[in-house]
Each structure stands twice: as structure tokens, then as C-alpha cells.
């Protein structure tokens, strides 16, 4: 995201908890503290792992007339607690390749017109409504679908293995038809080949499952998926792609 902002001609000051990651953004000014990065900014962007990380980074930081585009997926409760000043809730849909290609889907809510030049450098903006929090709600809905799809593929691959059916045959049969979204083939191939180069880590995916479970306790699927992800994390796959959830059934 930082590289695409630089490429679009924006002046970028970057801070990261791991300084080397900020230093990898050629053309950006690397700052020692979040306050240094935010000083004098027109738009402040936060993209961190969870609500606690965002809160810690922005603790004591004065926005001073800047618009704060909070683009992390942190859920509804944390968004309501953190919102202050001119605040835009704008979580994104898309993993590392989409971020690198400037092809994220930005689920924006709140007064985001001042952010449009920034958002245009990062992907496509969807207007989710005037109130901050609507973006997070929309993201949780979309994440529920993605997490359920990947868990469904994982269990189908495991079932095929246990029945002596080549799971690749399953993917080949559904490929290109109404039963076979491209994402199923992408993540199912990871599971069959047991290669989990992270586009989105299992640990972060579990965080999202827990955010969904927190707002929909009567819907059991997110909680069950979180438990399966926890088992795969305990088996050492937390930093791998979240398609590694299949390994919960191989331990």
C-alpha cells in the first residue's frame, strides 16, 4: 500500500512496529514514532493487525485536522471505541497480491471524500454508508463467506483423502462450473500440495473469525472455524496461509 501511494505521487511518511518493513517502502520517509508520521498529515492511514495494535499506535497522537482512515479489520466494538475527529472506517478486501497490485476493495464508511485520492491509489472504493462502522460490518459479512468457503474446501479435501478419492479430482470436477469458484481451486490446491505461502496468515484469519463470533454468538460456524484454526495454529501453522486450516484434520 505504501509503495502504491508513493507511485501515485503522494508524500508518504511511514511508521511500522517492525522498522525494516517501513524501510522497504522506497520513496517514503521512515519515522521513529506514529506521532512523527502523523504530524502535518492530510490523511492518516492505519493498517495494523487488530484493534489493540491500532489503539496502541494512535494513543496520544493528535490528528490536528487530518482525516483518519482506519483501514485495519478490527471489528465493530473497537471501531466505535477508537473513532474520533474526522474518522473514516475503511477496511479492505484482498490479501497481499491485491495490495501489491493496487487492486484492493476498500469498504469505506464515514466522511471519506478527502480520502479518495489515497483510496484511488490502493484499489476500488465501495461506499458502505455515512456512519463509521458500516465498513467493518460489511467486511465481517464478506469474511464470513470467505472463511466458510475455505473451511468447507478443507473438510472436503480431508473427506476425499479419507475415502481414498484423489482430492485433485474433486477440484477438477468443480472447476469452472457453478460449484467451483476460483477461490476454491486456489486454496484447495494449497491444501493438496501442502504449500502455504502466506497471502493472509492463519493467525490473522482466526482473529477475523473471532470478530464475527463476537457479533453473532447464535451463529455457530465462525466459532467452529476459529476452533479448527486454533488447532492448526497449535500445530505450528499460524504464520502460514490460512488455507493451512486443513492441517487441523491431519494432526
Residues in Cβ contact with 185 at an 8 Å cutoff, skipping those fewer than 6 apart: 171, 174, 175
Q: Where are the beta strands (DSSP E) in the chain?
A: 13-14, 29-30, 43-46, 67-70, 86-89, 92-93, 104-108, 123-127
Q: What is the pLDDT of residues 95-108, one digit of tens each?
A: 899 999 999 999 99
Cross-strand bridge partners of residue 241: 201
Return the domain boundaries, the chain.
2-129, 137-249
- Using an 8 Å Cβ cutoff, are 38 and 66 in contact? yes
Q: Which one, of 96, 102, 101, lies nearest residue 198 by Cα?
A: 96
In the chain, the percentage of residues whose pLDDT exceeds 90 is 99
Fold of 137-249: 1.10.1040
Q: Give CA–CA dist 79/84, Å, rounded.
A: 10
List the grid coordinates of 141. Answer: 459479512
Q: Which one, of 243, 69, 86, 55, lies nearest residue 154 by Cα?
A: 243
CB atoms within 10 A of CB 65: 10
- Using an 8 Å Cβ cutoff, are 199 and 209 in contact? no
For residue 201, report the phi and psi dihedrals to the nearest 5 degrees: -75, 150
3-class DSSP state of 69: strand
Same fold, 2-129 and 137-249: no
Cross-strand bridge partners of residue 89: 70, 109
Q: Which one, of 40, 33, 29, 89, lies nearest residue 63 by Cα?
A: 40
**Residue 233 to residues 136, 193, 220, 238, 249, Cα–Cα distance (Å):** 25, 19, 20, 4, 12
- Residue bearing cell 467493518: 136
Q: Give the pLDDT of the chain (251 residues) as one tens digit per residue.
A: 999 999 999 999 999 999 999 999 999 999 999 999 999 999 999 999 999 999 999 999 999 999 999 999 999 999 999 999 999 999 999 989 999 999 999 999 999 999 999 999 999 999 999 999 999 999 999 999 999 999 999 999 999 999 999 999 999 999 999 999 999 999 999 999 999 999 999 999 999 999 999 999 999 999 999 999 999 999 999 999 999 999 999 97
Q: What is the pLDDT of residues 39-82, one digit of tens each?
A: 999 999 999 999 999 999 999 999 999 999 999 999 999 999 99
- Using an 8 Å Cβ cutoff, are 4 and 121 in contact? yes
Average pLDDT over the chain, rounded to whole? 97
Q: Give CA–CA dist 237/95, Å, rounded.
A: 18
3-class DSSP state of 36: helix
Q: Give CA–CA dist 99/53, Å, rounded.
A: 20
List the grid coordinates of 58. Answer: 494512535
Please provide the CATH number assigned to the domain covering 2-129: 3.40.50.720
Amino acid at each position: 500500500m505504501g509503495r502504491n501511494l508513493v507511485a501515485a505521487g503522494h508524500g508518504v511518511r511511514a511508521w511500522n512496529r517492525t522498522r525494516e518493513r517501513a524501510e522497504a517502502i522506497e520513496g517514503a520517509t521512515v519515522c521513529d514514532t506514529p506521532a512523527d508520521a502523523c504530524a502535518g498529515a492530510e490523511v492518516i492511514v492505519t493498517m495494523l493487525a487488530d484493534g489493540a495494535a491500532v489503539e496502541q499506535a494512535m494513543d496520544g497522537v493528535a490528528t490536528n485536522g487530518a482525516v483518519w482512515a482506519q483501514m485495519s479489520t478490527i471489528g465493530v466494538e473497537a471501531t466505535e471505541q477508537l473513532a474520533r475527529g474526522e474518522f473514516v472506517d475503511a477496511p479492505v478486501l484482498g490479501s497481499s497480491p491485491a495490495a501489491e497490485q493496487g487492486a484492493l476493495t476498500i469498504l469505506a464508511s464515514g466522511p471519506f471524500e478527502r480520502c479518495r485520492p489515497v483510496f484511488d491509489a490502493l484499489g476500488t472504493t465501495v461506499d458502505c454508508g455515512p456512519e463509521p462502522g458500516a465498513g467493518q460490518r460489511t467486511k465481517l459479512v464478506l469474511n464470513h463467506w470467505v472463511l466458510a468457503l475455505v473451511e468447507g474446501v478443507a473438510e472436503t479435501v480431508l473427506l476425499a483423502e479419507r475415502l481414498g478419492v484423489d482430492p485433485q479430482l474433486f477440484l477438477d470436477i468443480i472447476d469452472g462450473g457453478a460449484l467451483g469458484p476460483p477461490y476454491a481451486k486456489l486454496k484447495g490446491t494449497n491444501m493438496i500440495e501442502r504449500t502455504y505461502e502466506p497471502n493472509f496468515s492463519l493467525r490473522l484469519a482466526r482473529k477475523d473469525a473471532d470478530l464475527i463470533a463476537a457479533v453473532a454468538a447464535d451463529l455457530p460456524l465462525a466459532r467452529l472455524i476459529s476452533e479448527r484454526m486454533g488447532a492448526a495454529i497449535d500445530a505450528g501453522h499460524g504464520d502460514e496461509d490460512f488455507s493451512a486450516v486443513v492441517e487441523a484434520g491431519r494432526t
